A and B are shown apart, each in its own frame.
Chain A
Amino acid sequence: MPCISVTKIAAVAAVLSAMVAPAYAYIDPGMGSLALQALIGAVAGGVFAARMWWARIVSFLPGARKKPSTDADAASDKTPS
């Protein structure tokens, strides 16, 4: 599909320049929201990754019960705060 290549090109461009032109939306995204997304997203993404790793480690421990849900589901069932 042509759109995938467009996305890929954009991704490569982003990586090369480490900059993306701000993609303005038709709605006002709010200054407070944008200014903080990188910080909050990094924390939330980190917590999620940590939970996934922890779930994997626990599943290898002897006596660990097999859960029907995936690692991602198990991690997202709990609030990261």
Chain B
Amino acid sequence: MAADPASFRDPAGRVYDVGGRIVRAVARSATADFECAWNNPALKELVSAGYVIDTVDASDAAVDAPEGARLVEHPRLPFISYPYEWSFSLLKRAALHHLDLQISLLEGGVALSDATAYNVQFVGVRPVFIDALSFKPYVEGEYWNGHRQFCEQFLNPLLMQALLGAPHNEWFRGSLEGVPTPMLARLIPPAKRFSFNLWAHVLAPAKAQSSGVVEKAKRAIARPLPKSSYLGLLRQLRAWIATLAPLGVDKTVWRDYADNNSYASDEAKAKERIIADFTRRVSPKQLWDLGCNTGHYAETALANGARSVIGFDADLGALERAFARADERKLDFLPLYQDAANPSPSQGWGGVERKSLADRSNSAEAAIALAFVHHIAIGRNVPLDRFVDWLVALAPTGVVEFVPKNDAMVQRLLALRQDIFADYALETFKALIGRHARVISSETVTASGRALVIYDRR
């Protein structure tokens, strides 16, 4: 049994997937710190509040762990997402979650050994800290070793969007450790440099780092850092990040689509009825909503028997509204950034450390893809058969909306270009689905001829 490919950085332990059980082997050398931290009342309180993942003994688990390792088990999360798939609001929530944990734990005598964003996961839009081995007893005078990592994986990506209006997603996906501080420092325009916070956490560290101050840093950490200063750093960052807002996402193309689309109200009702009937019949534990926009149909699915929805969209403005919907209405709905024509790859060390979207689709029991096909098949020139192959492989059953060529939205896509899509038609689409799955039904829902096709490959 090999350890999870993402579990190798910290020698204190490894994570294993044992027939669906998530088991963590704590190395013998780390058990003292582990036991000590996990017996701390402050940490116990955070676990019972759901802020930190539950951890129970699993000495019965069959894991080929090193001699003397202590085995513990965590509940399996419904879906693992990565910071490059999070919207600004999700990343900000994860950052505040990390700092809140650190502040309350430090006050209780526990410190965190790292500050990686991958240690925060979401259930709906509720954050949970998943690394049971990040905790260790706080030693008076110690420094915050995770500060640089926190800045690169949380603060800098947030500042890119808040100060420069540039989303972090593509950069973070290309650079899995986050946005390097010296890079961000170079991008900040002169007019935005006059801020103590920016100087303290970006500009000055970038300058110090580039001037190679090893001896200075060694001398600095020989003097103890007062706990009040450690807490001061955490609280200052928390207060600053709480004020950050995404620049420019209020003007994205698809943000207002739900209020401003080409549907007549009875047509929208028909669509809603079909989604409701489908989810009632299938009652999926997890449904994927491809092109979820602001989450209107995700909410319909949740109200009709879907237990959770993972939504994907490439429009960050729409995703911000989807986040607000999930948050305000307490929905088990996680809206994530994803460009379907270039989905998250399998990457990192060995090419397998972070899983591709397709590798994480086992948990999808159903899918819906509404007003989506034309963006991929026409907007991105993906041949219709390849689109169908990809879609049907993601989940065993689903509802997909076919948007015909004479529809106003497709006409908009074709307005300035040659129509090279001779086979783009409903009958061809259904025949292509038929190669992999049964077409259960096909119902026309708009005057323009949009149709909802339900398929099942089981």
Contact = CB atoms under 8 A, between A and B. Distances in A.
A9 B9 CA distance: 30
A-B interface, 5 closest residue pairs, ranked by CB to CB distance from nearest:
A45-B232, A41-B229, A30-B148, A3-B36, A32-B209
A78 B143 contact: no
Contact of B144 (A22, A37, A78): A37
B147 A29 contact: yes
Interface of B: 9-12, 32, 35-37, 39-40, 109, 113-114, 137-149, 151, 181, 195-197, 200-201, 204-210, 212-214, 216-218, 220-226, 228-233, 235-236, 238-240, 242-243
Interface string A1-26: 11110110011001100111011111
A46 B114 contact: no
Contacts of A79: 197, 236, 239-240, 243
Interface residues of A, number: 47
Nearest to A41: B229
A46 B91 CA distance: 28
Interface of B is mostly: helix
A49 B228 contact: yes
B140 A11 contact: yes
B39 A35 contact: no
B216 to A, nearest CB: 5
Contacts of A19: 222-224
Contacts of B223: 18-19, 38
Contacts, number: 186
A38 B220 contact: yes
Given A19-B224, A32-B207, A32-B213, A77 B239 contact: yes
B207 to A, nearest CB: 7
Given A10-B140, A45-B226, A45-B228, A25 B196 contact: no
- Chief secondary structure at chain A's binding surface: helix
A81 to B, nearest CB: 4
Contacts of B149: 27
Contacts of A34: 143, 147, 217, 220-221
Nearest to B39: A1
Contacts of A20: 139-142, 222, 224
Nearest to A31: B217
A14 B140 contact: yes
A46 B226 CA distance: 11
Contacts of B114: 25-27
A26 B9 contact: yes
Contacts of B204: 32, 36, 40
A48 B231 contact: yes
Given A34-B220, A44-B235, A4 B148 contact: no
A61 B216 CA distance: 46
B141 A14 contact: yes
A28 B35 CA distance: 25
B137 A7 contact: yes
B216 A35 contact: yes
